[in-house]
Amino acid sequence: MSAKHRNDRLALLFIGALLTGFFLVGPVESLAARGHGGKEHGSGQARERERHDGDEFLDSRYRHDRYYPKRGFVLRSLPRTSHEFIHNSRRYRFAAGIWYRHEGARFIVATPPFGLIIPFLPPYYTTVWIGNLPYYYANEVYYLRRDAGYAVVAPPQDEALPTPPVAVEKFFIYPREGQSEKQQADDRYACHMWAVSQTTYDPTQPPTDATASPASLKQKRDDYQRAMAACLEGRGYTVK
């Protein structure tokens, strides 16, 4: 066989090997891509099942209706927005209503200890009224307002009527200047205290005058609402 024929034969064998590799590898890669695409781009219900099966639970108490990772779930890194708190010499991290405990280089989803105080509430929480006392609830954890912030507390014993009193005012507040969660909580509390001092009316407490007429109470609520809105708007918020 001449050298030319041998070279032609080798070239044909090389091209055939390349084509064989293409037809063998190509479909595998295409299938993998389709499998990934099916997971990412499937129906919304399918994505919900994939996201929440096994590692998360739906906290539906008080119609809170949010998903959280289960206690004991392990992570190696945390969101950038997490904050560190120390209680009884133990370090905890907090982000989006989820508590983590340091375990070496890992972080374990945990239950915060009673008495731990944070300067702001989770971004999503449900206000639960027990009598005339507001509790703030998220991810199976209860918080109460304290001078230094919000304390993790034991679940209230009386949960029969977790409904707000009629006097409670609701505000829709938008931070125009991009205020942080901590700043929003601090500003809202400061404005609440200022509005109470200006109007002698506190919507989180029962009326001090049991004989006050409905018209008188309405006037006090209106005055409180105006004072609260004016204070928040002066601190860079839009209030509705």
Enumerate residues 6+ apart whose C-beta is below 8 A from 151.
114, 115, 116, 117, 143, 144
pLDDT, greater one: 59 or 104: 59
The pLDDT of 183-188, averaged and rounded, is 78
**Given this model, what pLDDT does residue 7 score?**
53
**Given this model, what pLDDT does residue 159 score?**
55
The answer on pLDDT for 236 being more than 90 is: yes
Per-residue pLDDT of 123-144, as tens digits, reads 888 888 776 678 889 999 999 9
pLDDT range class, residue 43, cuts 50, 70, 90:
very low
Do residues 68 and 141 make contact, with C-beta atoms less than 8 angstroms apart? Answer: no
Supply the DSSP string of 195-206, one letter for each residue.
Answer: HHHHHS--TTS-
pTM of the model: 0.50
- Mean pLDDT taken over the chain: 74
How many other CB atoms sit within 10 Å of the CB of residue 83? 14
pLDDT, greater one: 40 or 139: 139
Task: Write the CA distances from 189 to 80, 81, 119, 147, 236, integer angstroms.
Answer: 26, 22, 11, 10, 15
The top-scoring range by mean pLDDT among 116-120, 166-170, 214-218 is 116-120
**Given this model, what pLDDT does residue 50 score?**
42
pLDDT, greater one: 171 or 180: 180
Do residues 57 and 70 make contact, with C-beta atoms less than 8 angstroms apart? Answer: yes
The answer on pLDDT for 52 being more than 70 is: no
The pLDDT of 144-157, averaged and rounded, is 88
The answer on pLDDT for 74 being more than 60 is: yes
**Given this model, what pLDDT does residue 187 score?**
84
**Given this model, what pLDDT does residue 30 score?**
29
The top-scoring range by mean pLDDT among 12-16, 109-113, 162-166 is 109-113
pLDDT, greater one: 226 or 130: 226
pLDDT cut 70: percent of the chain above it = 67
The pLDDT of 44-61, averaged and rounded, is 63
**Given this model, what pLDDT does residue 108 score?**
94
**Given this model, what pLDDT does residue 165 score?**
41
d(CA 119, CA 96): 14
The pLDDT of 172-184, averaged and rounded, is 83
Enumerate residues 6+ apart whose C-beta is below 8 A from 192.
204, 228
Q: Which among 75, 81, 79 is positioned nearest to 103, based on CA atoms?
A: 75
The pLDDT of 217-223, averaged and rounded, is 86
